[in-house]
Amino acid sequence: MLTAGHEVVLHARNAKRAEDAKVAAPAASGVVIGDVASIAETRSVADQANRLGPFDAVIHNVGVGDRERRIETADGLEHIFSINVLAPYLLTGLIHPPKRLVYLSSGMHSYGDADLGDLQWKKRRWNGTQAYSDSKLFDTVLAFAVARRWPSVKSNAVDPGWVRTRMGGRGAPDNLEEGSETQAWLATGDGEAANVSGAYWHHKRRRKAHEAAGDEEVQEGLLAVCEKLTGTALPQRT
């Protein structure tokens, strides 16, 4: 996106990572800083973004994987759900709506369970892989819910593939560049990329999402839970 001449604002978890990001992408217009495992710091990230915006597009790329035990954030929330689902929800609700929104899902979302009864894994025996799959399903649910509620905003979910990153691991088979192409295309492209909303994508092709993603009852249930946990409601229409 930078090489194509777009202005790009980055996000980093802390000041050290912000400096690393600036070195890696010196042409970036700025960096917002905050650990989105914290509701308070996520609010700060949104405030920083609003001071630098408005934006044409926001890509919700932050996430953690499934190779961890159940841990809780400082807010007392399960770590994977808090970062992968609650943070993009809260940022969506607080950042001035852009023209386009992109949420990072995963092919593993198809194994997700849309049951909202135990999102914090307090009743079930912990399963990191299932918790991750659930979170990626809920990211897709969020993308589709925003597409329905905000008809003026193009909102989509992307499966980047299993990519060789720190989270994906060295054995991941997919190409790193291909893993980022679709979200950049949805954020900046013309034609179909500029006009479609409420779709699930993999390598610039529409794919069938988990049927729960399009279920309005599931969408509204997830939004209600996230509103209760954050104290921030997603506006009905924009």
What pLDDT is stored for residue 180 in this prediction?
82
**Does residue 40 share a domain with residue 25?**
no
The CA distance from 2 to 24, in Å, is 12
DSSP helix/strand/coil, 179: helix
Cis peptide before 160 (omega within 30 of 0): no
Cβ distance 46 to 94 under 8 Å?
yes
User: Which pLDDT belongs to residue 162?
Assistant: 61
Statement to judge: residues 142 and 162 lie in one domain: yes
Instruction: Indicate if 29 and 133 belong to the same structural domain.
Output: no
Shared-domain flag, residues 104 and 150: yes
Blockwise average pLDDT, block size 10, the chain, 238 residues: 81 96 93 98 98 96 88 97 98 97 97 97 96 98 98 96 55 60 93 95 95 98 98 88
Count the neighbouring beta carbons within 10 Å of the beta carbon of residue 212.
20
Considering the candidates 22, 103, 123, 136, report the single residue annotated as catalytic: 136
On whether residue 236 sits in a domain, the answer given is no
Q: pTM here?
A: 0.93
CA 82 to chain centre: 11
136 labelled catalytic: yes
Q: Is residue 235 part of a domain?
A: no
DSSP string covering 94-117, please? Answer: HSPP-SEEEEE--GGGGG-----T
Residue tagged active-site, from 103, 132, 154, 200: 132
- Same domain, residue pair 102 and 216: yes
Structural domain span for residue 10: 1-33
Are both 54 and 28 inside the same structural domain? Answer: no
59 plus 19 within the same structural domain? no
pLDDT on residue 168: 47
Instruction: List all residues 6 or more positions away from 56 whose beta carbon is below 8 Å from its beta carbon.
Output: 98, 99, 100, 187, 188
Please confirm, yes or no, whether 132 is among the known catalytic residues. Answer: yes
Co-location of 113 and 160 in the same domain:
yes
Helix, strand, coil percentages, rounded to 5, for the chain: 45, 15, 45
Q: What's residue 3's pLDDT?
A: 64
- Residue 192 sits in the same domain as residue 83: yes
Query: 31 and 10 in contact (C-beta within 8 Å)?
Result: yes
Q: Does a structural domain hold residue 118?
A: yes
Co-location of 22 and 84 in the same domain? no
Q: In what order do the strands lie in the sheet with 200-202?
A: 57-60, 100-104, 154-159, 200-202, 205-207
Predicted confidence at residue 228, as pLDDT, reads 98
The pLDDT value recorded for residue 66 is: 82
Q: How many domains does the chain have?
A: 2
- Classify residue 237: in a domain, yes or no: no
CATH classification at residue 138: 3.40.50.720
